[in-house]
Structure 1
Amino acid sequence: MQLNVIERLSAQPAGHPPVVFLHGLFGRARNMGFLQRQVAHTHRTLALDLRNHGDSPHGPMDYPAMVEDVVETLRAHDALPAILVGHSMGGKLAMIMALQHPELVSGLLVGDMAPARTGFGQAKLAEAMLHIHFPDHLDRQGADQLLAKEIPNRSVRDLMLQNVRLGTEPGWQIGLRDITNSMPNIENWPYVPEGYVYDGPTLFLRGEHSPYIAKDHEPVMRRLFPRYTLETIPDAGHWLHADNPKLFSEKMLDFINSI
């Protein structure tokens, strides 16, 4: 499946691999716009809408299928090998791609996600969203009020509002049924055959107040990604690139420019 792409700096500078941004669950390519603009000063950049998100096609989800989506899309754009920057679900996807296709990945930056089943998924939220009844017409203010009944958290609701189709035929723009049915796959860490290793440069960035990367994840991180570095973004939770964008951006740029 070919995915929708937002590309910046289409002329690729010599010696610099393209940088590819992979968003998290319920996100979309344009969520990564601030980071993409920072990198586009020096590198060709591509931000992808993953399947069932943004303007990409819909279908059942698991990480091997999503990896093939990304590989097919980047090959079509002549953008391989690439540096992958992934957050949350996008970080897990980036890790699996690096393990399955190490020759296609020049570097790996993972935002607040471990190579493990973490148990902090959004299955209840997805199920609640399925049961929201949309009226015949909806504007943004009405959509905000409608979602507030099921999603009281302001920041989460803002994320979900971008997935609502407004106007005379309102509804979910995303493939919400496919996402909900696939939630066990999304929350899981797929089986990695013995011997699969990505030995390229790898940076894990975790939020100071996030539980997603714990001490007991580090042995498997070391086994799968032997050249990894783990750094903490202070004053940040799981959405670390939104909570502390300046420091996240600085660490991201230092990592990318070192490759």
Structure 2
Amino acid sequence: MELSYQDIGEGHPVVILHGLFGAAKNWNSIAKQMARKYRILTVDLRNHGASPWTDTMSYVEMAQDLVEFLDQRGLDKASIVGHSMGGKVAMTMALKSPERVERLVVADIAPVKYPRMAFKSYVEKLQSVDLSTVSRRSEVDPLISDVIESSAVRAFLLGNLQSTKDGLRWMVNLETLGREMDSIGGVPAIRMDAKYDGETLFIDGASSDYIQSSHHQLIRHLFPNVQFHSIADAGHWVHAEKPHDFMAALNDFLP
């Protein structure tokens, strides 16, 4: 699979993976600043952005997409940074192909099942919008506000609408996302005796509950060489809410 990506800077390669409903473009600001020191490759995961759409998107499949991505770029190894869903992809890749991961950074996600079903209702609401009746994102916003109450979340989701000569279209594969939502919220299919012994950093937003102290034992089991770093006054989108603190943590950790 040929994933869409952006590639800037020179030096040690760092691959950045977005979360659910995200895209490589969400990381443009951080990528530009990090590119002063590193080669930054921001990737659209399958069924997101400009990457191909598929009927399935298990974490094992997405991790293999990344291995193939490195092969296509002629890279033996890279450091992998993943947020939320992208963090689970990064963990899966590190555990299944540890020889390809120089260092691992996981942002505000743990290798556990999350019971939240909000994203499933979001997908259903977005699917209910008849795009043939609207011409601008601003017209879609009030149509989804009854289910998606947060204006910030609506703005983030509506960033996936692209204007074409035939009208608006979604840049995310809502059909597959809806069908695979339980898998996306679940635990990657990894053996419990698997380990990634490379240097690992888990970053959490102090105001987020995605990484809890009760998760630390499992994280240490899978990633014995782990450090934990919490960023104050930040929630789940820690890189967007506190970009300077987030980049400082990356710069201190990456080679």
In the superposition, the TM-score normalised over structure 1's length comes to 0.92
Alignment-derived partner of residue 242 in structure 2: 244
Shift of 1:174: 1.4
Secondary structure of the structure 2 residue equivalent to 1:84: strand
Task: Quote the Cα distance in structure 1 between the aligned partners of 2:229 and 2:85.
Answer: 19
Which residue identity is paired with 1:140?
R
Q: 1:164 to 1:147 in 2, by over 3 A?
A: farther
Task: Quote the Cα distance in structure 1 between the aligned partners of 2:155 and 2:76.
Answer: 33
For the 8 Å contact 1:86–1:111, the answer to whether it is kept is yes
Alignment-derived partner of residue 37 in structure 1: 32
Paired residues for 1:159-178 under 5 Å: 159-166=156-163, 168-178=166-176
The percent of aligned pairs where both chains have the same amino acid is 38
For the 8 Å contact 1:129–1:150, the answer to whether it is kept is no
Which residue identity is paired with 1:179?
L
2:210 to 209, 212, 216: 212
Shift of 1:87: 0.3
Alignment-derived partner of residue 95 in structure 1: 91
The alignment status of 1:254 with 2:249, answered yes or no, reads: no
Alignment-derived partner of residue 5 in structure 1: 5
Task: Quote the Cα distance in structure 2 between the aligned partners of 1:91 and 1:173.
Answer: 21
Shift of 1:165: 2.6
Alignment-derived partner of residue 77 in structure 1: 73
Deviation readout 1:112-153 (Å, 9 max, x if unpaired): 001111223522211222212223441232233334344221
Task: Quote the Cα distance in structure 1 between the aligned partners of 2:241 and 2:180.
Answer: 28
For the 8 Å contact 1:67–1:97, the answer to whether it is kept is yes
Secondary structure of the structure 1 residue equivalent to 2:99: helix
For the 8 Å contact 1:206–1:238, the answer to whether it is kept is yes
Task: Quote the Cα distance in structure 1 between the aligned partners of 2:193 and 2:134.
Answer: 54
Range moving further from structure 2, 86-95 or 115-124: 115-124
The alignment status of 1:181 with 2:176, answered yes or no, reads: no
Alignment-derived partner of residue 56 in structure 1: 51
Deviation readout 1:39-72 (Å, 9 max, x if unpaired): 2111111000000100000111100111111111
Secondary structure of the structure 2 residue equivalent to 1:232: strand
The alignment status of 1:138 with 2:135, answered yes or no, reads: yes
Structure 1 gap ranges (5+): none
Q: 1:24 to 1:86 in 2, by over 3 A?
A: same
Task: Quote the Cα distance in structure 2 between the aligned partners of 1:180 and 1:34.
Answer: 29
Secondary structure of the structure 2 residue equivalent to 1:171: strand
Shift of 1:32: 1.1
Task: Quote the Cα distance in structure 2 between the aligned partners of 1:183 and 1:99.
Answer: 22
Structure 2 gap ranges (5+): none
Secondary structure of the structure 2 residue equivalent to 1:235: coil
For the 8 Å contact 1:2–1:70, the answer to whether it is kept is no
Secondary structure of the structure 1 residue equivalent to 2:75: coil
Shift >6 Å, 4+ stretches:
none
Range moving further from structure 2, 48-57 or 146-155: 146-155
Task: Quote the Cα distance in structure 1 between the aligned partners of 2:123 and 2:140.
Answer: 16
Task: Quote the Cα distance in structure 2 between the aligned partners of 1:164 and 1:81.
Answer: 34
Alignment-derived partner of residue 228 in structure 1: 226
